[in-house]
Structure 1
Amino acid sequence: MTPDHDAPDAYSVRNALFERPVTWRLQPARLRIDAGMKQPIHLDYADIVAMRLVYDPKRTEWNRQRCTITVRTGERFSIASVTYLDVIRIAPQTAAYAGFVRALARRIAAANPACRFVAGKPAWLYALMLAAPIPLLGLPLAWLSTLGVKGRDFLFYAGVLLVIAGLPWLYTLFRHKPRSFDPRAIADDMLPR
């Protein structure tokens, strides 16, 4: 296995305000996770069976992404692309996160070619995201009909509502679309920019 000269060998993140920073370290045959006062966790790359990259925005973290790895035992470990600095400030770590995740994916692929590399939400959750707005769009359309809006005006207002509600929804759906990826060449749109 060749070393990843272009990527950091460690990545630190503070997942919540009152948590200690977690440091992820790439070692020759395994991943080491240091979580403050706890004993370090060691995960052999060969024991990692799945890696999922997800666009995972929160209210204050619009560009937050998450990498979740699953080991043979079923345990999951998540790496976030943003870190808490204090009560108000949350800092993106875009370049460090992207470089670290790329290096981690290459090492996992070399040690376990059977590992699944997936981006986006799980298929069942994606299906729910597709269906969720349908009943919600019915409410404003029903409201328009109670106002006595009929015919062409109703179609116009319904179209405006669909565009206003639909564009952000379509963007979110595109970002969450489940798809596999090549761990040796992760596309730029799967990582924060």
Structure 2
Amino acid sequence: MTREQEAATVTGPDRNAGAESGSYAFRASLIGAAQQFELTDDGLVWRIGPKSGLWPYATIAQVRLSFRPVSMQSQRYRADLEDINGARLRILSTTWQTVTLMAPQNDAYRGFMLELHRRMRDAGSRAELIGGLRPGIHTAALVLIALLAAAMTGLLARAVATGSWSGALFIVGFAALFGWQIGGFIRRNRPRRYGFDEVPKDLLPS
């Protein structure tokens, strides 16, 4: 497949929305090759640049879903797959289109993930299904937030004590924005286990 054909595969917002939920493609970086995935009767077929392979559903050992916003796309989701041999695949809900545009593919990503779970269930998969961040990372994030909250509380108290009302308002506004963005990230990514028929809604695009 040529680079032009690869670009056509993932061009346009929600390019996969009209496709069957059994196929999905995205570009993880602007200069990288398109990554293509297809759910077949034999298993998950993947193609990344010149490399390709087939993972029978029964050999997928782990699926981890998480919410991973970035500066250019505040609603980005990620699935990390691992097979019984330790090989890994990463699937993102966004695709790069231009230097300044990372487009969401919400419908296509959600449909593909739900179909993957359905096929794994029907194949009798015993995979580990995990939602959110690793416990250690999640705990470290909570500690960092607590430290930042304590620091901002101290700054707010100092601003009020010195009568710096503009500074106090700035701190309150910053704290509200920070809590809304980071709080949502922490809440969605709380560590958990789930079943094939209970895929967490907050870890899939709405």
Deviation at 1:178, TM superposition (A): 1.6
Matched, 1:172 2:173: no
1:12 to 6, 21, 25: 25
* Structure 2 portions without partners, runs of 5+: 1-18
Structure 2 CA distance for aligned equivalents of residues 142 and 187 of structure 1: 37
Would the alpha carbon gap of residues 161 and 86 (structure 1) be closer, same or farther in structure 2, given more than 3 Å must change?
Answer: closer
TM-score (norm: length of structure 2): 0.77
Measured against aligned partners, the alpha-carbon deviations of 1:5-50 in whole angstroms (never above 9, x if no partner) come to: x9522111111000011110111121111112x1311111111111
Cα-to-partner distance string for 1:53-103 (whole Å, 9 max, x where unaligned):
110111101111011111112222111000111112211111111111111
**1:75 has 2:87 as partner:** yes
Q: State the alpha-carbon separation in 2 of the partners of residues 132 and 112 from structure 1.
A: 41
- 1: distance between equivalents of 2:43 and 2:131? 22
Match of 2:66 in 1: 54
Query: What is the aligned partner in structure 1 of residue 6 from structure 2?
Result: none
What is the CA deviation profile of residues 103-131 of structure 1, one whole-angstrom value per residue up to 9, with x for unaligned ones?
Answer: 11112223343211111111111111111
CA spacing shift, 1:163–1:39, aligned 2, 3 Å: closer
Gaps of 5+ in 1: 1-5
Q: State the one-letter code of the partner of 1:64.
A: R
Matched residue of 2:98: which SS? coil
- Pick which of 175-184 and 115-124 moved more: 175-184
Amino acid at match of 1:117: L
Question: Does the C-alpha gap of structure 1 residues 113 and 46 become closer, same or farther in structure 2, counting only changes over 3 Å?
Answer: closer
1:128-168 CA distances to partner (integer Å, 9 max, x unpaired)?
11111222233334445666828xx9xx98x9489624343
C-alpha distance in structure 2 between counterparts of 1:106 and 1:79, whole Å = 17
Task: Judge conservation of contact 1:48–1:71 (CA < 8 Å) in 2.
Answer: yes
The percentage of counterpart residues that share the same residue type is 24
Counterpart contact for 2:28–2:34, Cα < 8 Å = yes
In the alignment, structure 1 residue 123 sits paired with structure 2 residue 135? yes
Contact kept in structure 2, 1:23 and 1:35, CA below 8 Å: yes
Does structure 1 residue 30 correspond to structure 2 residue 43? yes
Relative distance call for 1:112 and 1:49 in structure 2 (3 A) is farther
Structure 1 residues 111 and 16, CA, compared in 2 at 3 Å: closer, same or farther? Answer: same
Structure 1 contact 109–115 (Cα < 8 Å) conserved: no
CA distance in 2, matches of 1:166, 1:56: 16
For 1:190, the equivalent position in structure 2 comes to 203
Q: CA RMSD in A?
A: 2.7
Distance between the aligned counterparts of 2:62 and 2:132, measured in 1? 13
Amino acid at match of 1:85: Q
Mapped partners of 2:115, 2:179: distance in 1:
36
| Structure 2 residue 122 is matched with structure 1 residue 110 | yes
